[in-house]
Amino acid sequence: MRVLVTGGAGFIGSEYVRELLRGSLPVAAPAAVTVLDKLTYSGNLANLDPVRDDPRLTFVQGDICDAAVVDQAVAGHDVIVHFAAESHVDRSIEGAAPFVTTNVLGTQTLLDAALRHGTGRFVHVSTDEVYGSIENGSWTEDWPLAPNSPYSASKAGSDLLALAYFRTHGMDVVVTRCSNNYGHYQFPEKVIPLFVTNLLDGGTVPLYGDGGNIRDWLHVHDHCRGIALVQDKGRPGEVYHIGGGTELTNKELTARLLAACGAGWDRVTPVTDRKGHDRRYSLDISKISQELGYSPSVDLETGLAQTVQWYRDNRAWWEPLKR
């Protein structure tokens, strides 16, 4: 099996590559893994250092919107796992064009190449944010999409495009939608690494609005396990939710991070709420659990402690990124 991983130098993609090459995912060991990554601000070759010497790994620096680069990268691969995306909501509010270009047009470029080369399976990695916000209960995979930010709208567009290639061309496409990820190697613009690194440096952390927005938290290891299960046994043309099973308000999360870093509430600065800030996300994971045997294995208390310790121990990785 030859696997192409787009965005494989990013946070989640690099975890997938590291675990895939180590044989710690529930999927057959690959004969070769190619990482295609543009190395934008959040892509980092250092994320692949633990497996850089593996002879099965090839790295290609390139843009998924570049048809010639994509065509060459896709050729000869049996599986594409598509992580590459612009993903930070605040940046999408400041300027939506890069999100539409990368997330929609880039995905279309990959799908066209996969169709042309007869790639066996296309795993499109997406987000719970495509559903908008839910006051009570949890979304199932057939819930209508109602994105509220330019980022989530661009991801919803790419989801629909991927599923359209299944329906129109019969391509072996599967879509995963995950809840909020956390863990090691996460770029420090996201809330958990931002808060942890700020607190470790003696700084303050921003809390949007009243801090009552609710998110489900998923350790990156569990996310990659879920993706591997879908890659291996998911039904073509289907969507699968991957969640962590632990919902917290942003204020509750902040309290846990303050405690883990030995800091008090005097280090928290209230800030004006984000435009169009979704109040609550919640995924129903019954489908992937019943069909593929997925369940989260990293509880939030353990996962957060391990994550905070990793950032304590790896200043050399994150300090240059914050500068």
In sequence order, the 6+-apart residues with CB closer than 8 A to the CB of 209 are 270, 272, 273, 274, 277
Question: Would you call 151 a catalytic residue per the annotation?
Answer: yes
Q: Which two tokens stand for residue 146?
A: 């109602």
In sequence order, the 6+-apart residues with CB closer than 8 A to the CB of 8 are 14, 16, 17, 33, 35, 36, 37, 48, 59, 83
Could you say which of 19, 37, 86, 128 is catalytic?
128
What is the end-to-end Cα distance of the chain in Å, rounded?
40
CA atoms within 13 A on the CB side of 169: 20
Beta-ladder partners of 216: 247
Alpha-helix runs per DSSP H in 2-66: 11-22
Beta-ladder partners of 176: 125, 240
Question: Would you call 86 a catalytic residue per the annotation?
Answer: no
Q: DSSP for 180-236?
A: EEE-TT--TTSHHHHHHHHHHTT--EEEETTS--EEEEEEHHHHHHHHHHHHHHPPT
C-alpha pair distances (Å), 88 with each of 72, 78, 322: 29, 30, 16
Could you say which of 16, 151, 165, 240 is catalytic?
151
One-letter amino acid for residue 37 of the chain? D
Could you say which of 15, 37, 129, 222 is catalytic?
129
Q: Give, for 178, the enclosing helix (H) or strand (E).
A: strand 173-178
Are 181 and 218 in contact by the 8 Å Cβ rule? The answer is yes
**Alpha carbons 292 and 229: distance in angstroms, whole number:** 6
Question: Would you call 182 a catalytic residue per the annotation?
Answer: no
**Alpha carbons 97 and 77: distance in angstroms, whole number:** 30
Residues recognised as catalytic: 128-129, 151
